[in-house]
Amino acid sequence: MANSNTDKAEMASARANVYGLLADVYREEPSLSFLLKLQEPQVSAALKPLGFSLGSVLKESSPDQLVENLAVEYTRLFIGPGSHISPNESMHVESRMGEPNALWGEQTVAVKKFIEGAGVTIADDFPGLPDHITAEFEFMQQLLLKEAEAWLNDEEELGANILGIESRFYEEHISHWVSNFCNKVSGAARHPFYKEFSEITKAFIEFECEIFEDLLAAVNEGNRLSA
């Protein structure tokens, strides 16, 4: 587990990379450039701690055929028409007011307020809602990059504060729906690409729960010793 500020910065950066990668997986139909990026050594290094390899997932008769097949699969899984799996939190978490699941529901508003309250803005070119899995993962990525910068600059109070914001967002939002979403995708996927990535996503989110417990405990211990 991370002890020095450098260790904490490296861990935050590594986790930011995974969130960024997963955000791109669910953003839109994979492009050829994105599929080529997945074959780069740093991607394999990022996924290795989770016990995953993408070698078999990216095999197809040709790169163009893989792009076409994944475009069809992405549309079928996440867009429709017909039955599909919404990549939005509000469609997976029941409203506290007992209202039916709906886009721009209670959870969407809560996520929007949380992101804005943290001083982070969603990219203007992102067409999805604030509680889309890509938006939530990119939010975590941006927080982690800020956290890493704080540790590198020995701004320990700032680093700890950002870590607390990450933990809160994880507890209040990501932990409530992403694993269930991944189970649905894994069960419905016909192409190994989305089945594998749904399992990678679920493993990472479960790993994050342990990481937050350890990191927050380490920060609290450091505060106690310095008091």
DSSP assignment, residue 79?
I
CATH of the domain at 164: 1.10.3480.10
Domain count, the chain: 1
- Give the CA radius of gyration of the chain: 18
Cα–Cα distance, 175 to 62 (Å, whole number): 37
Provide the residue-wise pLDDT of the chain in tens; the chain has 227 residues.
566 889 999 999 999 999 999 999 999 999 999 998 888 888 888 887 777 777 767 776 688 889 999 999 999 999 988 899 999 999 998 766 666 677 888 899 999 999 999 998 777 677 889 999 999 999 999 999 999 999 999 999 999 999 999 999 999 999 999 999 999 999 999 999 999 999 999 999 999 999 999 888 887 776 655 55
- DSSP state string for 169-213: HIIIIIHHHHHHHHHHHHHH--SHHHHHHHHHHHHHHHHHHHHHH
> What domain range includes position 77?
5-226
Q: What is the CB neighbour count within 10 angstroms for residue 133?
A: 25
